Structure 1
Amino acid sequence: MTIDEIIDFVSSLDGVLAISPTAGDPWPELSWGDSFFYYSPDGVVPTKTQPFATIVTKDYPDDQRSHLDRPDTFRVNIAAGKEAFIDRIGHSPKQTVTEEVDYSVTDTVIPHPIYGMGGWLAVVNPGTRTDAATRELLQTAYDRARSRYERHSESDSR
């Protein structure tokens, strides 16, 4: 999968706000070239929630274990949740031991190097082995974000 294929897939889901900052945008320079996906049917960046998925194209100061500084390397990060995490990784997110994971491996579903304990999964350069899994996990993260939004909307209207 390419970055554009992932952006197109996620953006096609109802109510998704996709942000891909570039030079000159109001977003921090560090975020330029990356993409952030929110469930936001009103098209406004939510202030009280994180994206349900992101694409990062470079190492961040506190997140360098995927070695995204390699040419043509990116990572899709997915807030899959505990059940999907267990299904894909085989144990609870709380049992993730970061030293035992090669976070630079490509085309493999892995715990997120920073947020794995929160049920986030990641794939560096998704390819033929992980195309279907990546799409499924993105759909799961979208469904979770949409459900969370709807629950909060219902409680706010009471």
Structure 2
Amino acid sequence: MKVEEIINEIKSRYKDIVVRETWGETSFFYNPGNRLPNGVYFTTIKEKDGENDSSSNLNRPSVFRVSIGVGKDKYVELFGEKPARPAKGKVVELDYDFAELNRLFPHPVYAWMGWVCILSPSKESFQNILPLIDIAYGLATKKAK
């Protein structure tokens, strides 16, 4: 899939969201009535490596990372206990290839917060992660209240 397709799908699927594009990342916030400066994050699409986050090697052509804030319960169901928070500029201590394409795995930096991700998902894989984005959106709506 292309980044634009994913952005359009998320924009059409969820209500009361704000989309912000900054620093090579598209962020999706739940923000009904624009009551908050941004809102509550629930999903991001990152298209390039950052100073403190290069473990996914996003500077490869056509590679991007879809990150989803599924929360503790779903994270534990998928991957077991959450890891400790990594030191600044480091990744979580888990045995994953954080640069592998089209596979769901813990987020290399934010797994400790209950985030998961997938690099450059196929159409089929994106359909498989939509229920996770639904969960993240639901959590964001609860946090915004």
Fold-level match, TM-score > 0.5? yes
Distance (Å, rounded) in 2 between the aligned partners of 1:63 and 1:74: 13
- Asked whether the equivalents of residues 107 and 128 of structure 1 are also in contact (C-alpha less than 8 Å), the reply is no
Name 1:42's counterpart in structure 2.
33
Q: Which runs of 5+ in 2 are unaligned?
A: 86-91
Whether 1:66 aligns to 2:61 is: no
Distance (Å, rounded) in 2 between the aligned partners of 1:68 and 1:147: 31
- Asked whether the equivalents of residues 30 and 40 of structure 2 are also in contact (C-alpha less than 8 Å), the reply is no
Q: 1:99 to 1:143 in 2, by over 3 A?
A: closer
Post-superposition shift, 1:58? 0.4
Post-superposition shift, 1:51? 1.7
Distance (Å, rounded) in 2 between the aligned partners of 1:52 and 1:121: 11
TM-score when normalising by structure 1: 0.78
Q: Which runs of 5+ in 1 are unaligned?
A: 22-30, 151-158
Q: Report matched runs for 1:73-84 at 5 Å.
A: 73-84=63-74
Q: Considering fraction of residues, name the structure with more strand.
A: 2
When structure 1 is superposed on structure 2, of 138-147 and 125-134 the one drifting more is 125-134
Q: Deviations over 1:110-157 (max 9, x none)?
A: 10010001100011101145222321111110110011112xxxxxxx
Distance (Å, rounded) in 2 between the aligned partners of 1:128 and 1:122: 15
Amino acid at match of 2:29: Y
TM-score when normalising by structure 2: 0.84
Equivalences, count: 138
Name 1:145's counterpart in structure 2.
140
Name 1:92's counterpart in structure 2.
81
Identity of aligned residues (%): 28
